[in-house]
Chain A
Amino acid sequence: MAVDNDRDGEVTFGGTDATSETQPHTFWVNDDNDGTGDGTENVGSPNKDYTNGQLSSKRDLEDLSRIHLEVSSIDDILSSGDLQLGLKWKNTSDSPAIRLYLHSDILGGTGYITDDGAAGLQIGTTYKDVLKDKSNLSTISGGSTFIFKKTFFQNLSGSEIKPLLFEGSGEGSGELTMVLLDKNDQEIGEGSSVWLNLENIKNLYVRGRADWSGENPPREFHGPTNDPPEPSFSFVFDQMGYPFDQPWYETGETIFFVHGWNQAYGNSLSFAETTFKRIWHRGFTGRFAMFRWPTEVGLTTYNDSDYKAWKSGSALKTFVQSVPGQTKNIAAHSMGNIVTGSALEKGMSVTNYALLNAAVPAACYDTDTSLHVNSYVTPLPSAELGFGGFLGGVSGNLVNFYLPQDFALITWDVNNDTNKPHILPAFAGSYSYDPNVTNPLERLSASFLLHTDRLVQTNHEAMSYVIQSQTWTAGSDGRTRGSINSDVDLSQYGFGDEHSAEWNRTPQQTADFYEELLMQFQIFPNP
């Protein structure tokens, strides 16, 4: 019996795939709900996928790992029924449980995760149902023995292995052991075993949350002539009842993920967990960490969230400093790139940074005027509170994953056109820009109903509420350079105009993207 314990994409018997009590194959319990068809990630659903007895969606397949049985020397006698093969747990801690599925690939490859056709076959009629034993048992748990039906071995036809997929259906660790039984179900011997460690996925990655509930929350605008106070942002590790359990195989690479705008906490966890699962399957063995920042939720909250995003940079910087890692990489989506840019501008240090669909003006990174596609009357250089070069000095290997048609970034352009300078609802106040004022630093102002008018003098407030960008976003313009080193066109993965295709599409449709993401982090993806 073997698993891909070294995560190189190959299941081998013994050698680097060997497991032990201290080096178990660690995987997550399939306790989300991925729906049907292509599927959608639904974290925290009461209808957990491991309870439904079948593989209902292509997305559900990323919650399965591979296990291979090698019974070629006894397959004849097993198929006759004179000898029976069973699986049972030994040396357990807590309550590990798994459920098995036939693998549609007789070679037991990784196509179920990377190939749409293979995934379609896997969730099709022949392979979708959970494997049941001769007594109709479908879960291997506790002290019971799962005894394979003799028909299970009758179509082995000389193949050396019997490839299976398993999902975790109970948390815990233990030694899953092959046992041989006579025709009367009496155990007559033991075969090989694999050590498994099945955990809640939240035990397998780190969460940090910007703690903005203290004094001076963002968007607390004061008069009479003062700038808004700098909010007291820090971060807290957010265990949510699932403290990080460092796996034995952890290497020195850390990947941080920063979500975008308009995501409730649950949605951002869903994006983070999808990212973790997909890079795990491609062989990532480092630490994964997600950062939650206080985006507002609702379609009219864009500029306010943008401001909060800029203010969240210091908390992200502290979080990244607090999570260990020899090589720190960060992937940020959409407005999460404001948070990340802000942190970098404050001195956060990372080796590689993947900007995914970045909702940040290209001008922030690159002051090349060939990027100036708009004709707004607005300040340009960051020294005059414009976007120009605000992030031009940040260091690290910045890679711009851009999508020219991205619908959200086209909406960003419209927001840039119509909602800047920003006007608060119910005449509560407004921002303005007057280029006719002599001093460039006195051209931006804020007028609030309950406060005396004041000048806008900070970049964060100016960029979020007043300045119109002369460029598109970096996330829609692959020409952006400056502090950006290179680019990857996301349309090559067939993402069309989808802003969040990396998470909303199936694991198979996004396999090439996650492979490229790892390569940009100088991490060798498995085949």
Chain B
Amino acid sequence: MKKKVVICVLVLGIVLLLLVQLREARTKYPKVDSQGEGSMQSEPAATDASQEIKDTEVVDLPDPIDSAAAEAKFLAAFKTPIAFFGKVVDQGGNAVSNASVRITLSDKAFESGSTSSLQSDGSGFFSIEGNGAAISIDVSKDGYYQTGESKGVFRYATANRTPLPTKLDPAVFVLHEQGKQEELIEIEARFRVSKNGTPLSVDLVTGERGSEGQTCLTVKAWTYDDKKNDQGRYSWKVNLSVNDGGLFKREERFDFVAPEISYNEIEEIVMSPDDENWSPQKEKDYFVKLGNGNYARIRFRMIAGGDNFFTLKSWYNPSGSTNLE
């Protein structure tokens, strides 16, 4: 009997404590509503300035919820209604019809989402209705290159700063229309190179190490990774040259036509430990005018330090045309 009384007192005590906790939790968040009592709570303004909490500013906060409600809200987020609107255009802003649109709805917590696909209509538009915490879009079409704007992930269950796409203001996905395709000799290779400037030549026709012939790119690297600074950085540089030819920096991804003049005999990549953007590696694209008068474009990536090597992708046009697409 005495034991039962003790248990009852303990249970009552715990209930009392819970009530005190709940009361305290409620009073921690005095709701201050600038729009008047009972109005809908407004979302924080979507500007950077709103994040700087000033000492005198009173910020409205949501009511705290219990853990079960938080869990329910968490799971419900993956059922958030989504009405997504998109448009596919080419590099000139022209609508691209019949583009393939791959869709992933993030409709499960910690699992892969549901996938589907559709095609853009005659005006490049498409729309999707579904449920999920987010939607991922991946647009492609034969005869077009994907660009950095061909994909996107749009979150629907979190506090976005930027507005989500609407029917009137759809998300825009950009494809780049391909031009005339040439018969190119494509090589992809990887070579270790000395750290002391000993030259290494690669034949852009065969991809093999070659003598310094008319279709060869010559690489010289100097890597001082035995002299690292406190941050582990070191100096390195690499020289690229072409026998009786030259190199021209290729800046635009979709620029496939090589210039006929203004090639440099040597192109140099230099990295100093003091560089703000120091990295042990660098990738650059060049047009190459070869000694035999033909053209190529290359993607050269130097990885300086460690095994000290470079990767090379090359597209060589044996026809003599400057078109390297």
A: residues with CB less than 8 A from B are 253, 262, 299-300, 327, 349, 351-352, 369, 372-380, 395-397, 404-405, 407-408, 410-411, 413-419, 421, 423-427, 429-430, 432-436, 438, 440, 443, 445, 447, 449, 453, 470, 476, 485-486, 491, 496-499, 519-525, 527
Least CB distance from B98 to A in Å reads 23
| A410-B153, A414-B157, A447-B24 known; A434-B73 Cβ under 8 A | no
Interface SS of chain A: helix, strand, loop or mixed? loop
Q: Does B50 contact A (CB under 8 A)?
A: yes
Least CB distance from B303 to A in Å reads 6
| A373-B161, A375-B160 known; A327-B66 Cβ under 8 A | no
Cα-based distance from A133 to B308 in the complex (angstroms): 46
CB-defined A-B contacts under 8 Å, sample of 16:
A351-B232, A369-B48, A372-B51, A373-B162, A375-B45, A375-B51, A376-B44, A405-B106, A413-B158, A417-B77, A423-B66, A424-B67, A425-B68, A447-B24, A449-B21, A486-B279
| A253-B306, A423-B65, A497-B113 known; A445-B28 Cβ under 8 A | yes
Cα-based distance from A470 to B53 in the complex (angstroms): 14
Known A413-B133, A436-B57; 5 more pairs at CB < 8 Å: A373-B160, A376-B159, A377-B44, A419-B70, A519-B281
Least CB distance from B154 to A in Å reads 10
Q: Please indicate the chain B residues that have their CB under 8 angstroms from the CB of A299 in the complex.
A: 109-110
Q: Please indicate the chain A residues that have their CB under 8 angstroms from the CB of B74 in the complex.
A: 414-415, 418-419
Least CB distance from B57 to A in Å reads 7
Q: Please indicate the chain B residues that have their CB under 8 angstroms from the CB of A433 in the complex.
A: 61
Contacting A470 at CB < 8 Å: which of B51, B303, B306? B51
Least CB distance from A263 to B in Å reads 12
| A397-B280, A524-B190 known; A410-B155 Cβ under 8 A | yes
Cα-based distance from A521 to B280 in the complex (angstroms): 9
Least CB distance from B223 to A in Å reads 10
Q: Provide the B11-40 mask, 1 if CB < 8 A to any CB of A, else 0.
A: 000000110011011001100100000000
Cα-based distance from A262 to B111 in the complex (angstroms): 13
Cα-based distance from A525 to B307 in the complex (angstroms): 10
Q: Is the CB of B133 within 8 A of A491?
A: no
Interface SS of chain B: helix, strand, loop or mixed? loop
Closest to A404 in B: B153
Q: Please indicate the chain A residues that have their CB under 8 angstroms from the CB of B24 in the complex.
A: 447, 453
Q: Is the CB of B279 within 8 A of A485?
A: yes
Q: Please indicate the chain B residues that have their CB under 8 angstroms from the CB of A519 in the complex.
A: 281, 303, 311
Within residues 38 to 96 of chain B, which ones have a CB less than 8 A from any CB in chain A? 43-46, 48, 50-53, 55, 57-59, 61, 64-68, 70-71, 73-74, 77-78
Q: Does B224 contact A (CB under 8 A)?
A: no
Cα-based distance from A94 to B257 in the complex (angstroms): 65
Q: Does B151 contact A (CB under 8 A)?
A: yes
Least CB distance from B241 to A in Å reads 23
Cα-based distance from A349 to B57 in the complex (angstroms): 43
Q: Does B198 contact A (CB under 8 A)?
A: no
Q: Please indicate the chain B residues that have their CB under 8 angstroms from the CB of A523 in the complex.
A: 306-307
Q: Is the CB of B21 within 8 A of A447?
A: yes
Cα-based distance from A376 to B157 in the complex (angstroms): 13
Q: Is the CB of A300 within 8 A of B153?
A: no
Q: Does B196 contact A (CB under 8 A)?
A: no
Cα-based distance from A430 to B161 in the complex (angstroms): 27
Cα-based distance from A496 to B138 in the complex (angstroms): 10
Q: Is the CB of A427 within 8 A of B18?
A: yes
Q: Does B192 contact A (CB under 8 A)?
A: yes
Cα-based distance from A417 to B18 in the complex (angstroms): 26
Cα-based distance from A440 to B153 in the complex (angstroms): 34
Cα-based distance from A299 to B75 in the complex (angstroms): 11
Cα-based distance from A28 to B16 in the complex (angstroms): 62
Q: Please indicate the chain B residues that have their CB under 8 angstroms from the CB of A404 in the complex.
A: 136, 151, 153
Q: Does B216 contact A (CB under 8 A)?
A: no
Least CB distance from B135 to A in Å reads 10
Q: Does B108 contact A (CB under 8 A)?
A: yes
Contacting A374 at CB < 8 Å: which of B57, B108, B161? B161
Cα-based distance from A453 to B53 in the complex (angstroms): 23
Q: Is the CB of B232 within 8 A of A397?
A: yes
Closest to A425 in B: B67
Q: Provide the B227-264 mask, 1 if CB < 8 A to any CB of A, else 0.
A: 00011100000000000000000000000000000000
Q: Please indicate the chain A residues that have their CB under 8 angstroms from the CB of B106 in the complex.
A: 405, 407, 410-411, 497
Q: Does B112 contact A (CB under 8 A)?
A: yes
10 closest A-B pairs by beta carbon, nearest first, are A522-B306, A524-B307, A435-B53, A405-B136, A435-B59, A414-B77, A423-B67, A418-B74, A417-B158, A425-B67
Cα-based distance from A414 to B133 in the complex (angstroms): 7
Q: Does B144 contact A (CB under 8 A)?
A: no
Q: Is the CB of A300 within 8 A of B71?
A: yes
Least CB distance from A233 to B in Å reads 26
Residue among A372, A408, A413, A470 with most chain B CB within 10 A? A413
Closest to A405 in B: B136
Q: Is the CB of A396 within 8 A of B67?
A: no
Least CB distance from B296 to A in Å reads 22
Q: Is the CB of B113 within 8 A of A413?
A: no
Q: Does B213 contact A (CB under 8 A)?
A: no
Cα-based distance from A520 to B304 in the complex (angstroms): 10
Contacting A522 at CB < 8 Å: which of B21, B57, B303? B303
Q: Please indicate the chain A residues that have their CB under 8 angstroms from the CB of B158 in the complex.
A: 374, 413-414, 416-417
Cα-based distance from A135 to B55 in the complex (angstroms): 87
Cα-based distance from A418 to B74 in the complex (angstroms): 6
Contacting A524 at CB < 8 Å: which of B65, B73, B77, B192? B192
Q: Is the CB of A426 within 8 A of B134?
A: no
